Copies of this chain bind each other. A is one copy, B any other.
Amino acid sequence: MRHGLIPELLADAAWQSGDVEVVSGQVRYTYAEAWERVVRLARSMKQIGIHKGTVVGVLDVNSHRYFELQYALGLVGAVVHTLNFRLPLADLAFTVQHARDEVLFVWDGFRPLGEALRRFVRGVVWMPEAGSAPPAAATAEAALAVAGETRPADVSEWPDYESLIQSQPAGAAPPPVELQDTDAYSVFYTTGTTGRPKGMIYRHRDMMLAPLQIAHHLAIHDTGAALRAGDTIMPLIPFFHIHGWGTPFFAPYLGNKLVLPERADAAAQLALIRAEQVTWSNMVPTQLAMLLDALADGPSPDATVAQLRLKVLTGGSPLPSGLAKRAHRAGVAFSLIYGGSDQLGAAISAVRQPMSDEALRVQSLSTTVQPLPMVRMRVCDTTGHDVPRDGATVGELWVQSPWLPSGYLDNPAASQAAYQDGWFHSGDLAVWLPDGSFQVVDRVKDAVKSGGEWIATSVVEAVLSEIPGVALAAVIPVPDERWGERPLAILQAGEDLQEETVRAHLDSAVASGVIARFWVPDRIQRVAEIPLTSAGKVHKAALRAQYTP
């Protein structure tokens, strides 16, 4: 009767919290009504050949449509492919073909993207939205140019999304399907910067367990983004990022009101937070900065700061300490989450011992994480042994959890490199603290490996950034005959910057224990401008190409 399947979460919410609201754009309904629409949508799937095992791509912002599809597809045993519309079109087309998507559900706002991808699938279900204009996006022609293999374009004219739902009677029973919690539920892809995206399949039990452990960790621990029964949840993390970090699953599980931001920009998000009394959200640090900017731009920043009272779960990239302090001042409490597409959630910041010093508490919550229940983490040196729990020795973070995938989809080489003896080798560098928590410091691929030991370039860069006159700092590895690699510091600064100033600053960082002696760059190179990527990050690949002999 109850099998640990994703759709049971919404069915239970319809029963237990049937009058709790879901808000999305102009749509406002209850969990009970959401479940009824999901059942009707699921019953309509067989008309368009969607059955158990069919892979179905979804291209949409965080909306009630996407929320419904994540349950309706699960109800018929189809596999949800959460399409990442921020991927380069060539990569996006690759994932559609690699996952063997048969059908796409595409929001009208992404119509050009949908048109570009429809040749790879049996058909597209369009999801219109009243009064919306499609945003500028890649054209079909651009997609065709990048597409490799193509299929015959036998795409039929199918009913649109609302017509599918309306084709089924209200109050009908879910379609009968034989499913187990070990059946596939969803597939999604890494956004790795090197090579093609890598795909992973997660089962119903994985995608049930990991989000619930996130919710439980946030409910049990003393942490910034604590979850309580009365909270209103607004996921700003797109659903294509690990299903918005599990929000569409744990919001109904907790019986919490859910606000879906659709295409809201920071100002509109702020308006939603106020109008719908949102108390809990998740976002990457960049989104948090934009939200705080919007708050500062508001009509009465002083008066509104105290009204915000927002709890935020943030992650995906390191939280700059300035942003953490700024958020704290604006009334935003936060927790840090660590995880990724290829391991789901793994750890969240939590204060283990009561802390009376508020600044220390904020610092701890913004820099260190504790494993979720059921998760084990280690920091290993290059020989696979645990590093000491000294908060200083850098190693690679290894993770073990019940919801780890067995490997990447159709990619045995990458699978073998990343998943070994039940441990996921995350490719992230971290230090292990004496209290058992972890601080992620760098990506392995960005680090310098000197004499078999890792040097966390992000830590050295942070030290260098503190020097007056240094606008930007980058540390990259250069080959070294004796040590394998040694660090080179590249500083964007005026010509008056003296190397002795830099050396003195580095020496004092060594003396105070912030960095190890052998982390100090052998060479320091001043430049007028450090090249940036389109995302505004330091373009390390370009620097490596330039400075590696």
Q: Does A309 contact B (CB under 8 A)?
A: no
Q: Does A374 contact B (CB under 8 A)?
A: yes
Contact B354–A2 (Cβ < 8 Å): no
Contact B229–A374 (Cβ < 8 Å): no
**A512 nearest CB across to chain B (Å):** 29
Chain B residue at minimum C-beta to C-beta distance from A376: B15
Binds B, one of A59-67, A170-178, A214-222, A270-278: A214-222
Besides A12-B373, A220-B227, A222-B229, 4 other A-B contacts (C-beta < 8 A)? A16-B375, A221-B228, A221-B229, A229-B352
Instruction: Given A1-B422, A2-B401, A400-B1, check contact A12 B220 (CB 8 Å).
Output: no
29 sample A-B contacts, Cβ–Cβ < 8 Å, listed by A number: A1-B404, A1-B422, A2-B374, A2-B400, A2-B401, A4-B402, A8-B374, A12-B374, A12-B376, A15-B376, A16-B373, A16-B376, A212-B216, A215-B216, A215-B220, A216-B216, A219-B219, A219-B220, A220-B227, A220-B228, A220-B254, A221-B228, A221-B229, A222-B228, A222-B229, A229-B350, A229-B352, A253-B373, A254-B373
Q: Does A407 contact B (CB under 8 A)?
A: no
Question: What is the oligomeric copy number?
Answer: 2
Q: Does A345 contact B (CB under 8 A)?
A: no
In the complex, A15 Cα to B398 Cα: how many Å?
14
Interface centre among A12, A212, A404 (most CB of B within 10 A): A12
> Which chain B residues border A254 with CB–CB below 8 Å?
220, 373
Number of interface residues of A (CB under 8 A): 35
Q: Which A residues from 382 to 396 make CB contacts under 8 A with B?
A: none
Q: Does A371 contact B (CB under 8 A)?
A: yes
Chain B residue at minimum C-beta to C-beta distance from A371: B16
Contact A402–B2 (Cβ < 8 Å): yes
Q: Does A436 contact B (CB under 8 A)?
A: yes
